[in-house]
Amino acid sequence: MGYFNDQKDRPAGEFYHRETKARFEFRPTADTWAAQHGLEWEIAMSDGSVRFARLLQTVAYIAVDVNDDRAGSPVLERWPIVKTWCR
């Protein structure tokens, strides 16, 4: 993929979706909305977009939409993952 490469042409981290085997790269986010909702990572999607997420060892909570409530809280999907590495 190579979406989130640093100065040495390396992404910040990588994980695989446990069921689909899809590979994803991630990096820390500087987005204030995401940080306010505990989503500290940006995930590169294959269409070039970015989703915000909370990553744990075996599960990722991915923001897939925004609720219509006043807070604009995220709608989260739970993905089973295998984290391969993180810088």
What are the domain boundaries of the chain?
Answer: 16-86
Backbone phi, psi, residue 41, to 5°:
-125, 150
pLDDT interval class at 27 (50, 70, 90): confident
The pTM of the full predicted model, rounded to 2 decimals, is 0.83
β-strand 23-28 against 50-55: which pairing, if any? Answer: unpaired
| pLDDT average, residue stretch 16-28 | 93
**pLDDT at position 8:** 60
pLDDT for res 4: 64
pLDDT at 12: 79
pLDDT of residue 9: 58
pLDDT at 1 over 60: no
Chain centre to alpha carbon of residue 81? 11
- Structure confidence by residue, pLDDT tens digits, 29-82: 889 999 999 999 999 998 889 999 999 999 999 999 998 888 789 999 999 999
